[in-house]
Amino acid sequence: MFMDKIQNLAVKYASFTMQKSLRQNLQIDILHKDFTKQPNLDKSYMLYAHIPFCHTFCPYCSFHKYAYNEEKAKAYFENLRAEMIDKKNLGYNFTSMYVGGGTTLINENELLKTLELAKKLFDIKEISCETDPNHINPNELSKFKGLIDRISVGVQSFDDEILKKVARYDKFGSKDVLIDKLSKAIGILPVTSLDLIFNFPFQTKDGLINDISIAKALSPDQITFYPLMKSNITKDKIASSLGISQKDNEAQFYEIIRAEFKDYHSNNSWSFSKTKSNLQDEYVGSNHEYLGVGSGAFSFMDGELYVNAFDLDEYGSRIINHRSATIAKCKFEQKQRLKYLFLTELFDGQICINEFNQKNQANLTQSLFLELTMLKLTKAIIIKDGKITLSKFGRYLFVVLMKEFYIGMDMVRAVFRDGKKLKSGTKLKVMEGLE
């Protein structure tokens, strides 16, 4: 991607300011007593459920997970369902649900019971669910007809050498095996999305184009290309398995991706679909208010971040005893909340200023005057007819910003996985690891 000097500086400054903002504002209170968040009946919430189990761990992944154990998994799903019942009893209702992990379909029968209960308890109209290539057997997927509306398959790459280096080749199969599995799975559920990663160290332009070509030839409903996300948690593992590249091709590769998907509908800055769909790959974009259930789940409601217990035993004990799973929270000032909402909404491509202001009781152009001015100066946004739209450069800039945001959330998870650092009644500066 060709960028002038000002735009190059803007990308570096965007990364710096996002990291600085997270360091300053992600100061989380460790709760010394049970806390139960009551629902605001005037708001619509999305339900997020976390399944923290995997058979194999990828070096670039820092999501909350445990090695799969069938007995522990069954107990976990029982607790997850009990927590959903507790939320129902508090008065919560949901119209959409996102199931993430981990590997969400790692125990299909338990997940089936969980989704059936969710639909029974709440007014859920659509469910999105993640999985890996080992859990897309047509017979198993068929069980979820009428439950899962969108299945997202973490393919990551069709390059055999990359698959070997990230320990996925032996576990999930070669390029040819993946193509065979996917070709049989696509079409069983209403929407199938393929998730791939770009900018692996030493990934070539030809290799990227080949990944794109194979993904498009399989003709899934959606295709997402995430940039490789390196945090202090994953960078050493990535370097050990994949090596270190002397050149960062992220911007150039992103331009190739945008060009190759010019005939697709852009769901957001890194996701594309054959037709326009309300089922997005990033639940934070279209669902600003969401409640998380499960070990290590996050919730974001009324300008506050809530964190569930990560330790499986602690989470299970809390649920069995009908205690809240929430162990920490972080309150954001109004301007920081507006920045978050602005980032996640504009990442989808466009903001209607009046709608944004009414929905968030804000004055966007006044509250974020400096930020909007800088975005206009770097030609990242276009403001016209009451709408803010991302330019070609702006889409890449917001990929960088969203990447840094997710890296920051990974740092939060890392701190909470190490329970020794947590003392109730204290304020935790979780982003010190970024420095």
Long-range contacts of 360-368 (CB under 8 A, 24+ apart): 362/334, 362/338, 364/338, 367/334, 367/335, 367/338, 368/335, 368/338, 368/339, 368/342
Q: Who contacts 431 (Cβ-Cβ below 8 Å, separation ≥6)?
A: 19, 22, 23, 26, 408, 411, 412
Q: Where are the domains of the chain?
A: 45-285
* Distance in angstroms (rounded) separating the CA atoms of residues 76 and 64: 14
281-337 confidence digits (pLDDT tens): 555 555 678 999 999 999 999 888 999 999 999 999 999 999 999 999 888 888 888
Residue whose structure tokens are 């991302």: 390
* Distance in angstroms (rounded) separating the CA atoms of residues 279 and 290: 15
CATH class of the structural domain 45-285: alpha beta
Confidence of residue 435 (pLDDT cuts 50, 70, 90): very low
Q: H helices of 243-288, where?
A: 250-260, 283-286
Helix (H, G, I), strand (E, B) or coil at 130: strand
Q: Are strands 387-390 and 427-429 parallel, antiparallel or unpaired?
A: unpaired
Residue whose structure tokens are 């946004």: 381
292 prior amide bond cis, ω within 30:
no
Q: What is the mean pLDDT of residues 53-62?
A: 72
Please give the torsion angle defined by the CA atoms of residues 333, 334, 336 and 340, in that order, rounded to the nearest 10 degrees: 130
Give yes or no for residue 423 having a pLDDT over 80.
no
213-261 confidence digits (pLDDT tens): 999 999 999 999 999 887 665 565 665 666 676 678 999 999 999 999 9
Q: Are strands 66-67 and 265-268 parallel, antiparallel or unpaired?
A: unpaired
Backbone dihedral angles phi then psi of residue 323, each to the nearest 5 degrees: -100, 155
pTM: 0.88
